[in-house]
Amino acid sequence: MLDLNDESDDLVLIEDAIIVPPTPKGMGKWQPSGVLDSKGDFVANSISWSSSTLPVNSEPKMPPTEAIRDMAGTHMFAGISYGHFGHFITESMTRIWALDQVRDKIDGLVFTPKNQMKDNLRPFEVYRELIDNFGLAGVPIACPAEPVRVERLYVPKQGFGLGDLAGGSRKFVDFINRHAGVDVTPAGGERIYISRSQLPADRGGILGEAKLEGYLAAEGYAIFHPQK
């Protein structure tokens, strides 16, 4: 179970940590991935959660030595990288709170992909402006396709999420208040409707949303599609 109010051991430093991404044949959530210590024990802080009681990843097996690539230096484990913009915000950015404690001590962030892609760094290119506005500007990011042994790895506990995790931990909320959007100049309409009408039909849209948008536009609302 994940308790966002429990700050004990919410940031641990692991020597010779093994980061294990999902296999190329793995699909979606609920598959083995995360961080093992040098003895092969699963690091609890590397568990990602969909809710306080529902873990996303499960304990991976220790990879064979010949399959592990060495990564020198000190890094921070940042969790699972999602390609979908909404899940990227709510599930890939959940450990960034720890940057306030380790930013000057690390060489970069290391994610594991939700699914292996042709280019695992593609989401970070697409969402670069968003990432920078979250307070990560200038922080190098890696998302390896193969297991890596990291010389020194900070592993923070997840501080935010979906469902009953949406309130965020104290440290996550403080980080967001300090960093998110501080260099963004407000622009656009005062009245905004956030729409799902341009998402695929199976992505949880609202029945008759196009009609609703027409009514709202007539009342002066700007129709905003965040995935664009």
Spatial strand order of the sheet with 141-142 comes to 34-36, 11-20, 148-156, 69-81, 108-113, 141-142
Q: Count Cβ atoms below 10 Å from residue 149 Cβ, excluding itself.
A: 18
Under 8 Å CB-to-CB from 151, ≥6 apart: which residues?
A: 15, 16, 70, 71, 72, 73, 74
Contact 13, 156 (CB under 8 A): no
> Tens-digit pLDDT profile for the chain (228 aa)?
999 999 999 999 999 999 999 988 766 667 899 999 999 999 999 999 999 999 999 999 999 999 999 999 999 999 999 998 889 999 999 999 999 999 999 999 999 999 998 999 999 999 999 999 999 999 999 999 999 999 999 999 999 999 999 999 999 999 999 999 998 998 888 999 999 999 888 877 889 999 999 999 999 999 999 888
Strands 69-81 and 108-113: parallel
**pTM here?**
0.89
Contact 99, 176 (CB under 8 A): no
Under 8 Å CB-to-CB from 217, ≥6 apart: which residues?
A: 223
